[in-house]
Amino acid sequence: MGFIKKIFNNNSVNNEPLISWAMLDGIDNMTEIIDKSKNSTLIIFKHSTRCGISSSILRKFEKKTNTTSSTDKKLFYFLNVIKHRDVSNEIEKRFSVRHESPQIIIVKNNEVIKHDSHYSILDIELADY
């Protein structure tokens, strides 16, 4: 690892995600995933790999969630909107939540209970859900 990366890399020694993300990468299993919201809270993070703001918010969200939030009974799903725009469109259609990126959508009992985008994502207290 280069000198600059060592200085600015604050995720972990192995640069692994701080959250155990499940990939949301197909429409086929969306109903099954959404049904899990009957027993757990779903946290869907929509990320654009082409956007510096999205990358920054993702890192800050992971750090905040790893250090301050209760993650009990929460399932974390990561959606790369560049690779899987069809999935993002399906989420928009099912939940009537306009597509944005970065965006977080919190689902409980098959309904969106909170959604936000950009820097407002960092104001969400997951312990409240």
Question: What's the helix, strand, coil split of the chain in %, to 5?
Answer: 40, 20, 35
Query: pLDDT value at position 7?
Result: 36
Query: pLDDT value at position 67?
Result: 63
* pTM for the full predicted model: 0.84
Integer CA distances (angstroms), 31 to 37, 38, 51, 110, 124, in order: 10, 12, 28, 9, 25
Query: pLDDT value at position 66?
Result: 77
Which domains are assigned to the chain? Answer: 22-128 (3.40.30.10)
* 40-44, 57-61, 65-69, 109-113: range with lowest mean pLDDT: 65-69
State the chain's mean pLDDT as an integer: 87
* C-alpha to C-alpha distance for 26 and 19, rounded to whole angstroms: 20
Is residue 60 scored above 60 in pLDDT? yes
* C-alpha to C-alpha distance for 96 and 105, rounded to whole angstroms: 11
Is residue 34 scored above 80 in pLDDT? yes
* Strand pairing class (103-108; 111-117): antiparallel
